[in-house]
């Protein structure tokens, strides 16, 4: 009887199916998911006129995570247009979820705006002061500028040499109002408004507050610049 029980127990072990718990997600599966995601990303860049290349970092070959019974999800954990080493988050969203970060090295090459000649501080940009050059767009965490229309009329915060790649921190919007300018003051409440003339007591960009002297009453009021020569105050 005892031998029969041992025999039956052994047969149960041999005939029992392999459980999902025994299955694992390997390093090769992780690498394949990261490669597929990055290849799709590089293709999307080419559709925008950019060139993207990438390398996947080391993944320990001994890695064995819980099996995932649905396609692995992948996403960048950082902006690949602002860093050369964004991590890719690989995750399983199934019954036994897990997450893993894979290190990468990426390069994005594309057209960017550069100074066509030396530019002085306070100089206002026009299209003839700009040129376009193929650069590594993600080499600067500050980002780069690529659209001429978006910088037309902007002013240089500091001087730069010819060929300098233009980044957002190098530019500032010109003042809509300069100190001493005569401005139109509009006091608005809903659809009702009253206008009067005034004089700006400081510089201000659009959206900024500025002190204005009302030329009729000689009172100083705080207003908001809404455009060149125009300010508004609430009623």
Q: Which residues pair with 132 in a beta bridge?
A: 113
pLDDT in tens, 120-155: 998 989 999 999 999 999 998 888 998 888 888 889
Q: How far apart are CA 76 and CA 102, in angstroms?
A: 10
- Residues 203 and 144: their CA atoms lie apart, in Å, by 28
Q: What is the DSSP letter of 170?
A: G
The pLDDT, as a whole number, for residue 15 is: 44
- pTM of the predicted protein model: 0.65
Residue 112 forms beta bridges with which residues?
Answer: 133
Q: How confident is the model at residue 202 (pLDDT cuts 50, 70, 90)?
A: very high
In the Cβ-directed half-sphere of 41, how many Cα atoms lie within 13 Å?
Answer: 22
Give Cα separations from 4 to 1, 8, 16, 180 (angstroms). Answer: 5, 6, 18, 107
Q: Which residues contact 211 (CB under 8 A, 6 or more apart)?
A: 200, 201, 202, 220, 221, 222, 223
């Amino acid at each position: 009887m005892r031998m029969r029980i041992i025999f039956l127990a052994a047969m149960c072990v041999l005939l029992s199916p392999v459980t999902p718990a025994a299955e694992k997600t390997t390093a090769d599966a992780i690498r394949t998911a990261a490669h597929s995601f990055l290849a799709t990303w590089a293709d999307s860049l080419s559709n925008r006129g950019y060139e993207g290349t990438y390398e996947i970092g080391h993944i320990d070959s001994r890695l064995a995570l819980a099996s995932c019974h649905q396609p692995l999800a992948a996403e960048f954990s950082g902006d690949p247009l602002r860093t050369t080493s964004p991590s890719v988050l690989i995750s399983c969203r199934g019954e036994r979820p897990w997450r893993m970060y894979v290190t990468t090295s990426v390069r994005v090459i594309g057209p960017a705006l550069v100074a066509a000649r030396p530019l002085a501080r306070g100089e206002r940009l026009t299209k003839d002061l700009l040129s376009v050059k193929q650069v590594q767009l993600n080499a600067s965490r500050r980002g780069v500028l690529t659209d001429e229309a978006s910088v037309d009329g902007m002013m240089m915060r500091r001087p730069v040499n010819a060929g300098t790649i233009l980044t957002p921190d190098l530019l500032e919007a010109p003042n809509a109002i300069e100190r001493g300018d005569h401005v139109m003051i509009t006091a608005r409440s809903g659809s009702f408004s009253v206008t009067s003339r005034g004089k700006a007591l400081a510089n201000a960009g659009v959206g900024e507050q500025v002190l204005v002297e009302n030329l009729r009453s000689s009172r100083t009021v705080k207003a908001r610049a809404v455009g060149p020569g125009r300010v508004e105050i609430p009623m």
